[in-house]
Structure 1
Amino acid sequence: MNRGSLTWAVRDSLLRYVTVIARGSYQMEGGATVTDDGAFTFPLRNAVHVGNEWRLSFEGSVRFTAHHGFLDVRIADPEIVTGPVDGVLSVRTGDDGTSTTAVAATGAEELGRDGTDIVWTANLHLLETGVELFGGVYPVGTDLAPLNIRASLDS
């Protein structure tokens, strides 16, 4: 059985902007939760290790809305694929949940071990394909909040 989570604040200023400045809201579904400091936690669905590559899939969603629907950002079922050189974070977007968008890239940060758990903190940079997800507000290369992964891998 795989147990674990991905915790990500998306962009450090996003939650504050949506809830305080724009007086909008956010909704979580499918097991996603929010931490006391405003990061979102998505439960691990699956972890696959083949060669030098990890594919970690998570479940749940968070949707930010404000400005009477003009700001509408949905992040669902994040998945990170990482190898020895770099990694890519993808999420499902849109109401139908069938579209997948590569949102951000990571450097070559290595996954660590804590007993049988893998632990990983990765810095993220917005990809061109992720710009539209945020309505064009952030340019390519914008630093996003780091993500933290912890996964217990029982064989």
Structure 2
Amino acid sequence: MTELHDAVNRGLLTWAVRDSLLRYVTVIARGSYTVEGGAAVTTDGAITFPLRRAAQKEGQWRLSFAGSVRFEAHHGFLDVLIADPELVAGPEGGVLSARTDVDGTTTLIAATGTEEPEHNDVDLTWTMNDVHLLESGVELFGGVYPAGTDMAPLKVRVSLDS
């Protein structure tokens, strides 16, 4: 088993969730989104979550990230929280989950295709373009997107240097 601990500066998950959601919340609904806990917004509007922990066992990676993003509009009627995401990725694909409410409920949000990480002597990187909403993630977005809806690509970087 390969394991990295407390790796805030050792990796990132970058995800724009869904381009139409970002546009809808900020432009059409005149709402906002906020990031906390180490998450940040890139210049193109994607959210980055710093790596907390990475573990690899038998070809499968479990990558835990810190931080949160909350989308709010319509005086709170639209309220989507994605916090402390975790990606489990292996040869048969991956699954992204996150804490989705203040009570700590974890939801399986999206599945990914079977992209293998690229690696060099320093980093592992995944670019997961085939990301789609799972049935368990439909309610998180208020039923607006049906299961199978294409979501924004996931980009992950994990530094292997010690």
Superposition TM-score tier, normalisation by shorter sequence: over 0.9
Higher strand share: 1
Q: 2:83·2:100 contact (CA, 8 Å) conserved in 1?
A: yes
Task: Report the RMSD for the aligned CA atoms in angstroms.
Answer: 1.0
Could you state the TM-score of these two structures normalised by the residue count of structure 1?
0.96
2:112 alignment partner AA? T
**Secondary structure at the counterpart of residue 154 of structure 2:** strand
Runs of at least 4 residues of structure 1 off by over 3 A? none
- Selected match of 2:125 from 112, 115, 119: 119
Unaligned runs of 5+ in 2: none
Percent sequence identity is 69
Partners of 1:114 and 1:79 in 2: how far apart?
23
Residues of 2 paired with 1:85 and 1:63: CA distance? 30
2:37 is aligned with 1:30: yes
Q: What's the TM-score, normalizing by structure 2? A: 0.92
Structure 1 counterpart of 2:137, one-letter code? G
2:144 corresponds to 1:140? no
Amino acid at match of 1:43: P
Q: 1:44 aligns with which of 42, 51, 62?
A: 51
SS at match of 2:17: coil
Unaligned runs of 5+ in 1: none
Matched, 1:93 2:104: no
Q: How many residues align?
A: 154
Counterparts of 1:24 and 1:143, CA distance in 2: 23
